[in-house]
Amino acid sequence: EPAGYVPAVVVGSGYGGAVAALRLAEAGVSTLVLEMGRAWDAPSSDGKVFCSTASPDRRSMWFRTRTAAPLASFLWLDVVNRDISPYPGVLDRVDHPGMSVYVGRGVGGGSLVNGGMAVTPDRAYFREVLPQVDADAMYGTWFPLANRMLGVNTVAPDWFESTEWYQFTRVSRAQAARAGLATTFVPNVYDFGHMQREAAGTATKSALAQEVIYGNNFGKRSLDRTYLAAALGTGKVTIETLSRVRAIRRDPDGSYVLTVAQTDLTGAVVATREVGCGALFLAAGSLGTTELLLRARETGALPDLSPAVGKGWAGNGNIMLGRANHLWNPTGARQSTIPVMGINDWNNAANPVFAEIAPLPIGLETWVSLYLAITRNPERGTFVYDPATDAAVLNWSRSQNQPSVAAAKSLFDRVNRANATIYRYDLFGGNRVFADDFCYHPLGGCVLGSATDAYGRANGYDGLYVVDGSLVPGSIGVNPFVTITALAERTMARVLAQDGIT
């Protein structure tokens, strides 16, 4: 079979991939995007594109027989998860020995399943994490561009103060204040105008109908509605779905050749083909990109890749936890799925924590306050290539989460003391308070300035670029997609100006 040739290939259609596709197309470069998930653009027989969190079906998760939601139980009961039939659903949980990583699958990557929190990192911390990146250019140009392109907006404060849908947030804010802690509004890509219309009964409910981790049917400006819509609009971009890149090699003429497995909706491989390209942009996410490069290096296909590929991974210090409130402090049966506020104690030198106030949107009064804490954890994991399974295995032990647990505990012990409240033990299994076995923010594995140059060009190989979360060295102190998007914009501007991609 002769290899099909395209000028540029982008692997993955999350934040990095969407930026790369649009900017390549605008520069006139014909671009093929290969995405292992499906397109989420057509309703199923129930009239909806995505299933609801309350009654998940096969659309919810990536090839599983039972859902594996982050909040596994309630009152220690297995009431959250449901049996489903295997299907390329939108949310995947990739289980490594010491850490499970949640990722989105489909055209739009993580933007399909995430909470939409769109946070520009603290400038001093950004400089500390990525000292080789010009902070003036990031904060003057690339972060503002990313915010504009992603459609970032903020909840209207007067509506926030009065709506029943954010009572859970106001309760947590008051309790933080009693402990002397500051809270701050968190911007989002969910359209708050739409949300207010949902509340008023003039728009179909999505954030107000418990939809988020298995997709939002309305309201959210996911990448398929922003960057990817613009990319397709140029006529220069093709997106092929259910197409998983398995291997990368280089031909003597310098072009890259990808082995692509085409699957059907049962997961069976129906065809394997080769695609050649002049420029290759890896945007398969921290896990996906790192695995592709590690496999290429360790099998000898791209032997000159940096020894740093596979190193510098962490989950942004993610820890979830819940607190139990007094009966006179209800959090509300009606909760928006979209978080809008965080407790900001990042400048606490001993225990920096940024803790988002998360909903528990099950339609009942629970008296629970839930949080996603982002902590500063110096521990890093390493991916190792396992030839027996042809897969990258993450070397990360549960004990490496201990600094994150300690930081979260330090902050929420203060909140509990100030309010005479206690933790919940029933939410994450095993009577644990702190969920330290999963993360939403996988970062690193192909770190900017060590596995690549300062712009994401893979060391050792011209025309090979990394543009996703694998560039960020394990921690950024806030939710990461604005940073990933801004770094991808910076990379694309530079390589399109300098590298002669046609």
| Marked catalytic residue, from 35, 379, 441, 489 | 441
Q: State how far Cα 281 lies from the chain centre.
A: 18
Among 469, 473, 474, 477, which residue interacts with ligand FAD (rule: CB under 6 A)?
Answer: 469
As a residue count, the chain comes to 502
d(CA 372, CA 361): 15
The answer to whether residues 147 and 118 touch, using CB atoms and an 8 Å cutoff, is yes
Radius of gyration of the chain (CA): 22
Residue choice 67, 114, 163, 206 for contact with ligand FAD (CB under 6 A):
114
Contact positions with ligand FAD (CB under 6 A) in 313-342: none
For every residue of 288-341, DSSP letters joined together read HHHHHHHHHHHTTSSTTS-TTTT-SBB-TTEEEEEEEPPTTS---S---SS--E
Q: Confirm or reject binding of residue 36 to ligand FAD (CB under 6 A).
A: yes
Name which of 12 and 474 has its Cβ closer to ligand FAD: 12
Q: Which of 356, 365, 379, 489 is catalytic?
A: 356
Residue 479 in the binding site for ligand FAD (CB under 6 A)? yes
In the complex with ligand FAD, the residue whose CB is nearer, 89 or 278, is 89
| Position 456 contacts ligand FAD (CB under 6 A) | no
356 given a catalytic annotation: yes
Residue 80 CB, shortest distance to ligand FAD, in Å, is 14
Stretch that binds ligand FAD, among 12-20, 248-256, 294-302, 341-349 (CB under 6 A): 12-20
Is 215 one of the binding residues for ligand FAD (CB under 6 A)? no
Residue with Cβ nearer ligand FAD (113 or 451): 113
Q: How many CB atoms lie within 10 A of CB 249?
A: 15
Could you give the CA distance from residue 241 to residue 155 in angstroms, rounded to a whole number? 34
Cα end-to-end span (Å), the chain: 25
Contact between 34 and 275 under an 8 Å Cβ cutoff? The reply is yes
| x/- letters, 75..104, toward ligand FAD (CB under 6 A) | ---------------------------xxx
* Tokens found for residue 157: 């404060």
* Three-class SS of 89-142: CCEEEEEECCEEEEEECCCCHHHHCCCCECCCCCHHHHHHHCCCCCHHHHHHHH
Q: Please, what is the Cα angle at 333 between 328 and 334, to 5 degrees?
A: 125
Q: Please identify which residue in 56, 88, 89, 116 interacts with ligand FAD, judged by CB under 6 A.
A: 116
Angle at 491 between CA 310 and CA 280, to 5 degrees: 65
Among 38, 64, 105, 490, binds ligand FAD (CB under 6 A): 105
Residue placing its CB nearer to ligand FAD in the complex, 108 or 332: 108
What is the rounded distance in angstroms from the CA atom of residue 479 to the CA atom of residue 111?
A: 12
- The interface region with ligand FAD, picked from 153-161, 392-400, 415-423, 479-487 by CB under 6 A, is 479-487
Is 244 a binder of ligand FAD (CB under 6 A)? yes
Residue 50 near ligand FAD by CB under 6 A: no
Give me the least distance between CB of 95 and ligand FAD, in Å please.
14
Q: DSSP E strands: which ranges in 1-44?
A: 4-11, 31-34
Check if 274 is active-site: no
Binding flag, residue 284, ligand FAD (CB under 6 A): yes
239: contact with ligand FAD by CB under 6 A = no
Residue 394 interacts with ligand FAD (CB under 6 A): yes or no: no
Task: Give the integer Cα–Cα distance in Å for 488 and 334.
Answer: 37
Residue number with CB closer to ligand FAD (205 or 441) = 441
How far apart CA 502 and CA 498 sit, in angstroms, is 11
Q: How far apart are CA 160 and CA 168, in angstroms?
A: 11
Q: Which stretch binds ligand FAD (CB under 6 A): 106-114, 190-198, 248-256, 424-432?
A: 106-114
Per rule CB under 6 A, count of chain residues that contact ligand FAD? 39
**Residues designated catalytic:** 356, 441
> What residues line the site for ligand FAD (CB under 6 A)?
11-16, 34-37, 102-106, 109-110, 113-117, 213, 244-245, 283-286, 288, 292, 440-441, 468-469, 479-481, 484
